[in-house]
Amino acid sequence: DMERTLMTRVVQGTAGASIVLNLVAMIVEGGVAIAMGLVALAVGSFVIYFQFMLQDTDTLRQVQNDLRHTVNDFADENVKLKNNNIRLEAELVPLKETEAKLEAIAEKSGSDAKKLRDMVKDNQATLDA
């Protein structure tokens, strides 16, 4: 539970006291005091209820801090993804060099790269079987 502030306690106490005093006035005086007392009962009840609601609502600062934390989490994740991208790009360079070498070998042997890749796949399927 959220800790109640002093101001919340004062407002709620004042509204509660108003309710009690109006009940006493209605019992003692009657007539107009009853009508005014009923209005005070309604207003006092609403004040207490809405003061509780306001107290339990996150403050703007809390919402900003939660958003800031979420943004920081996304930024950290973004850094991780960027580092992975850099690592993968670095691994791609030797693969492209190997592909170029294989295409050169295929051209020298009178075959094309696609045919060579298909032969390598067939060979791997045979080895796996």
| Cβ–Cβ < 8 Å for 10, 25 | no
Query: Cβ(54)–Cβ(83) under 8 Å?
Result: no
pTM of structure: 0.41
State the 10-residue block means of pLDDT for the chain, 129 residues long. 67 81 79 76 80 71 87 95 93 85 77 73 81
Q: Which residues contact 41 (CB under 8 A, 6 or more apart)?
A: 19, 22, 23
Token reading at 114: 């696609």
What pLDDT, on the 0 to 100 scale, is given for residue 69?
A: 94
**What pLDDT score does 3 carry?**
56
Q: What is the pLDDT of residue 95?
A: 83
pLDDT at residue 1, rounded to an integer: 43
